[in-house]
Amino acid sequence: MLKVGTAAPVFQANSTKGIVDLQAYMGKENIVLIFYPGDDTPICTKQLCAVQDHYAKIERVNTVVFGVNPGGMDKKRSFAEKFRYEFPLIMDEDESIRKAYDVGKVLGLFFQQRIVYIIGKNGTILYAKKGNPPVSELLQVIENQA
């Protein structure tokens, strides 16, 4: 896991909402990157639905959200449509994003870890936490940057 204060690696990748170029958000918005193990699995669904439930608040504090995992685009699109996620789910097919963000693997190296990063407008990591932190905690970190 990358440490707070580290410069966030930039990338371009395909997502459920088209190509995402992280560099385009640097200097303009805070970025929440949610590395989650699988599309349409119980804990991942709970985590991403909690973010969706608070998405209007997240947008109001000048922040974008991206979910990231190596799963295929068809499954991602179906998952995003099923739960009406307003934020893109990024396909990390070659796992280069996972590796750049030092996200390990679990369960016999089959699934990536669940890690949430918040990247500040200045392009450095403000927050890094394993697991499924509450959205209120993410909002508190972002609001403290204002």
Task: Catalogue the active-site residues.
Answer: 44
Q: Which residues 6+ apart lie within 8 Å of 85 measured at CB?
A: 16, 48, 52, 67, 79
Give the whole-angstrom CA distance, residue 64 versus residue 10: 15
Contact 111, 26 (CB under 8 A): no
